[in-house]
A and B are shown apart, each in its own frame.
Chain A
């Protein structure tokens, strides 16, 4: 039986209704099979840059920037032999003939999308199995197929694994996972938050609604893992995922549409408040001497969900109008300032998004270095404070940018985002989560 009585209407990324009166918990990472599949794919799916391996072997440039081993090179036609390499990698990874191992050849052999079987991950406790077993399987495949001798095998290792194990991660390697190595996580349960927005925007092919959805799914699923979304706070995070990330009740889409031609950030705040009043989420509490009305609510988690949907809509309108990602921190601060002054109720995540915006503004506007919004993730030292409500907006903004940054999302993401966009569930999360929610709604 459902813990919460909330029901929501599901919509697609274009504002079309998909299903009505679905229990909120059908969208929970603890229940929704599509979300669980996505989390699993994030661990299982690994990108291989075969062209990169070939180049590294040919030139001896292995182990990251500035590293070149003169006199060492190995000419192997990896790209041309991608199909047989893929077969060999698959053979190496497969646990049983009917398991879910998959290796896809992409871009004429330049890239491989590898899906490591779940059985391998289940046999261990660390999500790095995806990257480690793919890298090792690839090394074995190259050594076997091209009959690499014992004196050159080390070069194959370095071209695939990069500088590891001298470094914590595979620095300069050609096998990448969406997830960073555990040592690079800010704290317990941060793994799913350590995915830069550049990857998210490219995986979703710069569809801002899907970028926000994928980011919100990863962030809010992480909240369960971090120990945030539990007890008194579980519904708060479920509401945030549903209303901000998954466009339930078409709230995000409606507010964007209302302000799409002329709207300012201030107009988006007003649209959000109007909708909250109309839906009975907030109501007047008392009138001050100036005539200013304090608003109150009986459901603060739902108010937070409305405000966070408004925040995403405000980002889409502001960054969308300017076709630029750099406006995000300004939206975080002033959307919240304005909505607090409009209602006298706390802003998104009760002040944490606003605080995050202040820091992010410094670190994304060349004041104290940092980088553009595409490098930010929920695990970033500057943006980790809001519990899942900030990064979906950053991902949407990165998707809406028309090319205003020196370091583009493509440059930051390398081949990872592009390769992982081949996974339908990651590319179009709204569709798959909606379908799964409908499939299980009776049982929730």
Chain B
């Protein structure tokens, strides 16, 4: 048997290397800021901090489960065990050197977190999970290097802004003005939760990452820095897959050794 080591993503550029790094769950994401558990709960706006989790069904132990070998094998997450509602955090990522591109959010989320439902849309990426599981995931999403306070937005609704020019402070446009740049502290503060409901007190998510640092950390191919076409290995990978999918659709038996 050939030695196999998970490889996650092809490519020789720094962008490809970042993609590989973020998708690899054995790589520990660098923590860049601290946001308290309660503030994460406030930012999402699904419950008040300290409030009990609402449930969509009784705890699994109480309700009993059908006789199913897969239910017996697969350990439910803590939120599923308790019968939590399924809630979400939704991110908008700027096209200007954001740490995670939308697709990267899905790939990274599915390699790092168990029992999550991630969808990628044109300008937003919701991640849904049982509520208490979601809160743990959301904390890592906001506190680590895969989040930039200025170019990632926590936006449940009216997500528009990912492809617009940045403002004079390097902030992504937000029609609901959920976040502001505090010139005194140099930090980004949220004054509204992800839906746009005003918060009782502002929540700081720290200083924006500097431009050169962002370019180092980004997983986005972009003409001003690493253009997609310059990463020949990734381009040939995409072309190869396209060719194989097409050939296989014509006749799977002819696809041999290529």
User: Taking beta carbons and an 8 Å cutoff, which residues of A are in contact with B?
Assistant: 13-15, 205-209, 232-233, 235-236, 253, 256-257, 260-267, 270, 273-274, 277-278, 283-285, 288-294, 296-301, 304, 316-318, 320-324, 326-327, 329-330, 333-335, 337-338, 340-342, 344-346, 350-351, 361, 365, 396, 399-400, 402-404
Within 8 A of A (CB), among B139-189: none
B residues near A294, Cβ cutoff 8 Å: 237, 240
**Minimal Cβ-Cβ distance residue in A for B68:** A207
Instruction: State which size class the interface on B falls in.
Output: 35 or more
Given A292-B11, A293-B7, A205-B241 contact (CB < 8 Å) = no
Can you list 22 A-B pairs with a CB-CB distance of less than 8 A? A205-B67, A208-B70, A209-B68, A260-B73, A262-B114, A264-B114, A292-B9, A320-B70, A320-B76, A322-B77, A323-B60, A324-B130, A327-B117, A329-B119, A341-B8, A341-B107, A342-B8, A344-B241, A351-B245, A403-B63, A404-B56, A404-B57
**Minimal Cβ-Cβ distance residue in B for A322:** B115
B4 within 8 A of A: yes
A residues near B213, Cβ cutoff 8 Å: none
B74 with A320: CB separation less than 8 A: yes
B residues near A341, Cβ cutoff 8 Å: 7-10, 107, 237
Given A207-B68, A289-B12, A300-B57 contact (CB < 8 Å) = no
A346 with B69: CB separation less than 8 A: no
In addition to A342-B7, A346-B245, 13 A-B residue pairs with Cβ atoms within 8 Å of each other are A233-B252, A256-B70, A264-B111, A266-B110, A266-B112, A292-B11, A318-B116, A321-B114, A324-B130, A330-B117, A402-B63, A402-B80, A404-B57
B257 with A298: CB separation less than 8 A: yes
A402 with B60: CB separation less than 8 A: yes
A residues near B67, Cβ cutoff 8 Å: 205, 207
B224 within 8 A of A: no
**Minimal Cβ-Cβ distance residue in B for A210:** B68
A residues near B86, Cβ cutoff 8 Å: 322, 324, 326, 404
A residues near B244, Cβ cutoff 8 Å: 345-346, 350
A334 with B65: CB separation less than 8 A: no
**Minimal Cβ-Cβ distance residue in A for B10:** A292
B68 with A301: CB separation less than 8 A: no
Alpha-carbon gap, A300 to B10, bound state (A): 21
Alpha-carbon gap, A360 to B143, bound state (A): 32
A residues near B258, Cβ cutoff 8 Å: 285, 296
**Minimal Cβ-Cβ distance residue in A for B237:** A344
A residues near B223, Cβ cutoff 8 Å: none
A residues near B114, Cβ cutoff 8 Å: 262-264, 317-318, 321
Alpha-carbon gap, A274 to B256, bound state (A): 20
Alpha-carbon gap, A304 to B133, bound state (A): 33
B252 with A290: CB separation less than 8 A: no
**Minimal Cβ-Cβ distance residue in B for A324:** B86
A402 with B4: CB separation less than 8 A: no
A residues near B50, Cβ cutoff 8 Å: none
Alpha-carbon gap, A211 to B139, bound state (A): 36
Given A14-B69, A404-B57, A290-B74 contact (CB < 8 Å) = no
Given A321-B115, A324-B117, A402-B57, A304-B12 contact (CB < 8 Å) = no
B75 within 8 A of A: yes
B71 with A288: CB separation less than 8 A: no
B52 within 8 A of A: no
B10 with A288: CB separation less than 8 A: yes
> Which of B25, B76, B248: most chain A Cβ within 10 A?
B248
> Which of A236, A321, A344: most chain B Cβ within 10 A?
A321
| CB of A165, distance to nearest CB on chain B (Å) | 39
A318 with B115: CB separation less than 8 A: yes
Q: Mark B41-65, 1 if CB is under 8 A from A, else 0.
A: 0000000000000001100100101
Alpha-carbon gap, A284 to B5, bound state (A): 12
Given A277-B4, A290-B233, A334-B118, A321-B76 contact (CB < 8 Å) = yes
Within 8 A of A (CB), among B1-32: 1-2, 4, 6-12, 16, 23, 25
B residues near A298, Cβ cutoff 8 Å: 256-257
A396 with B107: CB separation less than 8 A: no
| CB of B210, distance to nearest CB on chain A (Å) | 27
Alpha-carbon gap, A293 to B233, bound state (A): 11
Within 8 A of A (CB), among B223-243: 233, 236-237, 240-241
A residues near B116, Cβ cutoff 8 Å: 318, 322, 327, 330
A266 with B23: CB separation less than 8 A: yes
**Minimal Cβ-Cβ distance residue in A for B76:** A323
A236 with B252: CB separation less than 8 A: yes
B199 within 8 A of A: no
| CB of A164, distance to nearest CB on chain B (Å) | 34
